[in-house]
Structure 1
Amino acid sequence: MTTDQVYGLAAGLLSAFVFGVAAVAQAHGVRRTSASPDRLAEFVRTSVRDAWTWAVLLAYLLGFLLHAVAIWLLPLYLAQATIAMSLPVTAFASRRLAEHLDGAQWSSIGLVTGGLVLLSLGSGEAGSVRTDAEFVLSLWAGVALLAAASTLGGRLGGAGLGTLAGLGYAGSAIAVRGVGTPIDAGTVLAALAVPSLSLVAFWLYSRGMAGSSISATTAPMIVGQTFVPAFIGVALLGDGVREGWWWSVVLGLVLSCVGAVRLTRAQAGQPVG
């Protein structure tokens, strides 16, 4: 790995730690209030008056800035896969370090970690910034589609809402690739798409955790925000893979996501298979 990639990987892992702790704090914040998060306007109105929510948002902002560094320095498939490491952090934080993890949970953490090692070994150069009209229009089409899909939230449950949140965070990560210099109209619109997608995703994630477990909502979110940017990054944004190392990248992605899902199922007390 190059020096830039080492820095990017370190930033990604630090962001995963921050996101993991913030997810537990977010779940606590959602459950401690009687206000329903079903409507976005109501959710925002309630949140801006709540000091706990502001603290969670500041934590997410720090995590996002670290993650943005990873996105700029790493291929999206690796930058996004580092987020899977937030699940072990969530597992520890949600138990307040008071209980030991069992064998299934430790093996799942091992899968996530092993997947990241394989991704790192196969990682090539990150793609360049893209601000053309087609890219920017696609981002805002994603905002509109996600907002429309959110109307189905009441029928989706925690897993469905987590999936939509994952797509929102995936779009936000992709939009970061449109932010660069020189600053022009395309750069500004791409930059605005980042918080727009993140806000809707944060809201959907909160809705999922309000009526379901952290685990059930987080697992599909992480799978979505890992695989979608990975595919887009390689197919459309110029992310590279070391020659002859495609097997390592594909296997690393699969192991990371399988480990994330197994960990959440183990936390929820479901058979992991």
Structure 2
Amino acid sequence: MVCALGAAVCFGTATVWQAVAARAAGTDGGGGGDAALLLRALRQWRYLAGLALDGLGFLLQVAALRSVPIYAVGAALAASLAVTAVVAARLLRVRLSGAEWGAVAVVCGGLAMLGLASGTEGDRGGSAALRWAMFGTAVGVLLLGAVGGRLPERGRALLLGLGAGFGFGVVEVTVRLIDSLRPSGLLANPSAYALLLGGGAAFLLLTSALQRGSVTTATAGMVIGETIGPAAVGVVWLGDRTRDGLAWLAVLGFLVAVAGALALARFGEAPAEVG
């Protein structure tokens, strides 16, 4: 659980640092489109530090997924929005409302309940059918992106965000389905391809959703997609369990943490203006 919370801190802080760097890159007098902006941002130490934090966060996420149930990791990762909100309030001078500070407290409370109730990860390795199902889901995420890009703005942001959440959910599940890092084992395991395809598709869909629609709507869809489905897979097919007699507390903590994250969905992308 410490690794899951560490990943949330890394991802949440990285979002703000990258936003600060992108803002600085956009005001240095350079022209060009998104590609030029990205190249200028890459010269900012905060942007590079954000990328490094993203990499560290992913490693911590993998470590967490190999130790605790998927439902606990998913809720913790959704809590990165609370980290982004707190860091943005300090670095970007973004003013949080009383309700948003309350949502941060709600997220923390939900995670505390999950920490108390979570058992160890399930001992089931996952069937071949589940591995292929994850690969099919990753392909479906790409197709969802093609369809969602043609919808009106509000529907587009929600569908693309939800698809991104499904893609990140594929990553969460397939980390548990990869039982060998030997090249021969990876090449023969459809989960390895699902992880790469699902993760790549998720980033593409989320980027498109944030560029072409509501940040709040897209992030809310992403939080739902990356938490509920993977949690169900972990419990039903991989044997994730809670501590004896504390299933109710795990369910309550999961719902509370996700609800708090949804209340902070506007921080899925750090605000563009200083508050």
Q: State the TM-score, normalizing by the size of structure 2.
A: 0.79
Contact 1:129 1:177 in 2 (8 A): no
Q: Which residue of 8, 24, 36 corresponds with 1:16?
A: 8
SS of equivalent to 2:177: coil
Is the deviation greater in 53-62 or in 234-243?
Answer: 53-62
Contact 2:81 2:268 in 1 (8 A): no
Residues 106 and 267 of structure 1, relative CA distance in 2, 3 Å threshold: farther
Contact 2:148 2:160 in 1 (8 A): yes
Q: Deviations over 1:190-226 (max 9, x none)?
A: 2232122111001111111112354332222122211
Query: Partner of 1:164 in structure 2?
Result: 163
- Residue 163 of structure 1, CA deviation: 1.0
Q: Which residue of 86, 98, 110 corresponds with 1:115?
A: 110
The 1-side partners of 2:73 and 2:202 are apart by 18
Contact 1:71 1:79 in 2 (8 A): yes
Query: Partner of 1:38 in structure 2?
Result: none
Query: Partner of 1:40 in structure 2?
Result: none
Q: Deviations over 1:99-120 (max 9, x none)?
A: 4422101111111111111111
Unpaired runs of at least 5, structure 1: 1-8, 36-45, 269-273
Q: Which residue of 80, 83, 92 corresponds with 1:86?
A: 80
Q: Tell whether 2:186 aligns with 1:192.
A: no
Identical aligned residues as a percent: 31
Residues 158 and 88 of structure 1, relative CA distance in 2, 3 Å threshold: same
Aligned length: 250
Is the deviation greater in 21-30 or in 101-110?
Answer: 21-30
SS of equivalent to 1:127: coil
Query: Partner of 1:234 in structure 2?
Result: 235
Let me know the Cα RMSD of the aligned residues.
3.0
Contact 1:129 1:179 in 2 (8 A): no
Query: Partner of 2:206 in structure 1?
Result: 205
Residues 136 and 211 of structure 1, relative CA distance in 2, 3 Å threshold: same
Query: Partner of 1:255 in structure 2?
Result: 256
Contact 1:172 1:198 in 2 (8 A): yes
Query: Partner of 1:62 in structure 2?
Result: 56
Query: Partner of 1:71 in structure 2?
Result: 65
The 2-side partners of 1:193 and 1:34 are apart by 32
SS of equivalent to 1:160: helix
Query: Partner of 1:6 in structure 2?
Result: none
- Residue 129 of structure 1, CA deviation: 6.1
Contact 2:74 2:227 in 1 (8 A): yes
Query: Partner of 1:175 in structure 2?
Result: 174
Q: State the TM-score, normalizing by the size of structure 1.
A: 0.80
Contact 1:27 1:210 in 2 (8 A): no
- Residue 259 of structure 1, CA deviation: 0.7
Residues 86 and 13 of structure 1, relative CA distance in 2, 3 Å threshold: same
Q: Tell whether 2:131 aligns with 1:136.
A: yes
